[in-house]
């Protein structure tokens, strides 16, 4: 994946809901599809050696808390 495409995916991922936020109450019958989409993006990030849990801090360093470890 090209660097600009990977960067665009990272940015888009920061706007996606976190899996724990996706509920049937909030998303109705499409909640499983939303969870599947989130998982697909996570897998592509991992395939490109990007830790999905670190993406938000990389894209928005000014808004992410400092690590405590």
User: pLDDT tens, 17-47?
Assistant: 999 999 999 999 999 999 999 999 999 999 9
Q: Is residue 15 part of a domain?
A: yes
Supply the pTM of this predicted model: 0.81
Average pLDDT, the chain: 91
Give the residue numbers spanning the domain of 39: 3-59
In this predicted structure, the answer to whether residue 63 has a pLDDT above a threshold of 90 is no
| Cβ burial 47-65 (10 Å sphere, 16+ → b, else e) | eeebebeebbbebeeeeee
Q: Is residue 23 part of a domain?
A: yes
**What number is the average pLDDT over the span 12-16?**
95
How many domains does the chain divide into? 1
pLDDT at residue 61 in the model = 87
């Amino acid at each position: 994946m090209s660097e600009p495409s990977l960067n665009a995916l990272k940015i888009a991922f920061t706007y996606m809901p976190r899996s724990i936020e996706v509920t049937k109450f909030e998303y109705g019958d499409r909640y499983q599809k939303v969870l599947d989409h989130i998982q697909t993006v996570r897998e592509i990030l991992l395939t490109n050696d990007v830790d999905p849990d670190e993406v938000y801090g990389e894209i928005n360093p000014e808004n992410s808390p400092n690590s405590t470890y």
